[in-house]
Amino acid sequence: MYVPLDFKGRVAIVTGAGGGLGRQHALALAARGAKVVVNDLGGAVNGDGGHVGAAQAVVNEIVAAGGQAMANGASVTDVAAVQAMVQQAHDAWGRVDILVNNAGILRDKSFAKMDLADFRLVLDVHLMGAVHCTQAVWPLMQAQNYGRVVLTTSSSGLYGNFGQSNYGAAKMALVGLMQTLSIEGAKSNIRVNCLAPTAATRMTEGLMPEDVLRALDPAAVVPAMLVLACEQAPNRTVLCAGAGTFEAAHITLTQGLHIGIGPTAAEDLLAQLAQVTDRAGEQVPQSGAAQGTNEITKRMESRT
């Protein structure tokens, strides 16, 4: 039975929502009834500069369409400003139900030529920015026994991409953050998921042919965000989306092989590496403990 996703009564914060994907997220949530904090520093793709005008323009769109929204120009790297943003939402609307961590920058360069300051800055915005925002809303979500947190990962983190060691490291770190927060938040009905979008934004200009960029309209990613932000959202899912196609990514564990710790263990492992990495029967562990459990089980089986 078709039941439209309804966000009436919900309060959402979307970071990096002054343009591109974040703007589409904010517009979609507002169109379905959510009150939205449109956060955007208003800086360049590399993070330089800043002006709240971009966020305000999106707010104006939402209000003109009959929705409720407020602009916020906090940098997600500024802990105090992020906390003030969350307080602003709570003071105005009494709760915060949804956080879409979308803010990000690029400082692309091959690893050999990468300035460490650029590496740290990308980690600071993508990873620590999401940490700051999520930690600021977490106690509110715990108190109201409801929360939906969306972390924006990337295929560059999941699978790698030349020239994006900093970006890829930050994006994969967000998957690790999701894995633990989804466990810790479950008892408070806080569901934490990752969205891996493929979309034509300022970050992808000039990287793909025009017809491909048109197919990768950011609006085509929005259904995945809505699913991860809704009341019926899954928990601990990496949902990929682009051009109207949706996939799920998983971190899996193979069955493995008990080799032991004898003097030739390294040589034996190398000789049997194909069996160790064989994906037949692989599992998606429900927690980190699954690895140790598998290893001890294999050792005990080898003694029988």
Average pLDDT over every residue of 159-164: 96
Are 217 and 291 members of one domain? no
Are 42 and 97 members of one domain? yes
C-alpha span between 161 and 46 (Å, rounded): 18
pLDDT of residue 207: 65
Are 225 and 134 members of one domain? yes
Is 257 domain-assigned? no
Average pLDDT over every residue of 93-110: 98
Structural domain for 156, as ranges: 11-249
Is 80 domain-assigned? yes
pLDDT digits (tens, 9 = 90+) for 54-94: 999 999 999 999 999 999 999 999 999 999 999 999 999 99
Angle between helices 165-185 and 129-144 (to 10 degrees): 10
Reduced to 3 states (helix: H, G, I; strand: E, B; else coil), residue 148 is strand
Average pLDDT over every residue of 5-19: 98
Question: Which residues carry out catalysis?
Answer: 167
Are 176 and 47 members of one domain? yes
Task: Count the domains in the chain.
Answer: 2
Average pLDDT over every residue of 17-26: 97
Mean pLDDT, rounded, of the chain = 95
Are 242 and 275 members of one domain? no
Q: What is the CATH number of the domain that holds 190?
A: 3.40.50.720
pLDDT of residue 210: 78
Task: Determine which of 116-125, 213-222, 283-292 has the lowest per-residue pLDDT on average.
Answer: 213-222
What band does 209 get if pLDDT is binned at 50, 70 and 90?
Answer: confident
Are 73 and 175 members of one domain? yes
Are 166 and 51 members of one domain? yes
C-alpha span between 147 and 139 (Å, rounded): 10
